[in-house]
Amino acid sequence: MATLQDDRPKPGIYPGVPFETYASWSAVNHSFLKWFEYSAEHALEYRLNPPPSTRDQIIGSATHALLLEPDQFAERYCPALDRPKRSKADKLAHIRHSELNSGKTELKPEEWDLVHRMAEAVRCGKNSTALELVEHPKAFREVVIVWNDPDTGLLCKARIDLLMKSFRGFPTAADFKTTRDRLTIQRRGKFIAEFKTYSQFAFYCDGLDALTRSYGHEPVHRRILAVLVEKKPPHGVAVTEIDEDDIEQGRRECRRWLNQAAECFDSGVWPGYSASIGVASLPMYAKDGGL
C-alpha cells in the first residue's frame, strides 16, 4: 500500500483516506466524468462549482460511515437538537448545541434514526453475504486508488468502500448504496442505470487494472459488488453483481468521457450542446397507443 507524502496524489492504493482528503486531491473521478454525458460545459461547471450534497446523499454518506468507520461517524455526525426555537432559552440551547458539535453534520432526528436502522439492517445478518462483506477481516475500508490513465495520461482517482484480495475465491471490491426503490431484480437494474453505477464500477476496474500493470503484474478477474439497502422499512438488503456486458458498456462510456476531458484540458475549450438542430421524439409511453 502507498503512503501519503503531500497533498498531491501519487499513483497507488491508499486505505482509510477521509473523504475530505480524497475530495481535495486534484484528479479526475467518475463523478466529474459522467457530466460529459450532457456536455463538457456541464462537466466544467461541476468541477468548478460542485453542487452541495442533497439530504439523500448526506444520509447515504452517514450510513457508509456508521457501517465502515464507526469511530469516524461519531466525529463527523450528530443528531440535531429536537427542540423548537420559540423562546430565548430554546435559541440559546441550539447555539450551545452547535458550539458543542462544531464541524459535525447535523442529522434530523428522523434521519439519525434512519441511518441507524439501515446500518443495523446490514449488520443484523438478514443478508448473510452483505454481513460477510462488511465484517471481512482482511478488507481494506474506504480505499482511494490513484492512477494514470494509460491512453490520455490524465491522473484519475476513485474511492472504494471495501477492497479485498480474496472474497469467496476472487479479488473483490464492494460499494454500499442506499435506495428509495424496492430491490426487485428489475428495479436493481433501473438503479444501476439511473445512477451510472455500471460505468462507476467499470472506472474502478480500469483503475485497479492500471495499478496492477504498474506493479508489474497482469490484471486478474475481479468482482465488483453493490450492496443495496432500502431506505423504507423493512430496509431490505441485496447484493448485486453487474453483468460483464454492462461493465463493458460502462468502460466504453468512461473511455469516451476521458478522451473528451483530455481534449478540453489541453485546449481550454469546454463546449456545450451542439449548435446543430436536432429532432426530438416523444418517448414511447407518451405516444398514442404507447405503453
Q: Model confidence over 119-162: pLDDT tens digits?
A: 999 999 999 999 999 999 999 999 999 999 999 999 999 999 99
The CA distance from 59 to 34, in Å, is: 22
Residue 58 belongs to some domain of the structure: no
Residue 109 belongs to some domain of the structure: no
Residue 237 belongs to some domain of the structure: yes
pLDDT of 80 over the 50 cut: yes
Distances (CA, A) of 81 to 121, 204, 267: 25, 39, 50
What is the pLDDT at residue 7? 61
CA atoms within 13 A on the CB side of 66: 22
Residue 1 belongs to some domain of the structure: no
pLDDT of 72 over the 90 cut: no
* pLDDT bracket for residue 40 (50, 70, 90): very high
Residue 286 belongs to some domain of the structure: no
pLDDT of 4 over the 60 cut: no
What is the b/e burial string over 109-135, where b = at least 16 CB atoms within 10 angstroms of the residue's CB? eebbebbbebbebbeeeebeebbebbe
What is the pLDDT at residue 136? 95
Distances (CA, A) of 261 to 145, 149, 206, 254, 264: 19, 12, 17, 10, 5
What are φ and ψ of residue 102, in 5° steps? -55, 130
The CA distance from 149 to 63, in Å, is: 31
Torsion, Cα 192 174 31 213, to 10 degrees, reads -120
What is the pLDDT at residue 144? 95
pLDDT of 15 over the 80 cut: yes
The CA distance from 57 to 50, in Å, is: 13
pLDDT of 266 over the 90 cut: yes
259, 151 contact by CB (below 8 A): yes
* pLDDT bracket for residue 84 (50, 70, 90): confident
* pLDDT bracket for residue 67 (50, 70, 90): very high
* Number of structural domains the chain divides into: 1
For 262, other C-beta atoms within 10 Å of its C-beta total 16
C-alpha cell at 61: 454518506
* pLDDT bracket for residue 5 (50, 70, 90): very low
What is the pLDDT at residue 1? 56
Residue 148 pairs in a beta bridge with: 155
What are φ and ψ of residue 233, in 5° steps? -55, 145
Residue 22 belongs to some domain of the structure: yes
* pLDDT bracket for residue 82 (50, 70, 90): confident
CA atoms within 13 A on the CB side of 203: 26
Residue 5 belongs to some domain of the structure: no
Identify the domain containing residue 221 by its residue range. Answer: 12-49+123-262
For 248, other C-beta atoms within 10 Å of its C-beta total 13
CATH for 44? 3.90.320.10
Question: What is the C-alpha radius of gyration for the chain, rounded to an integer number of angstroms?
Answer: 21
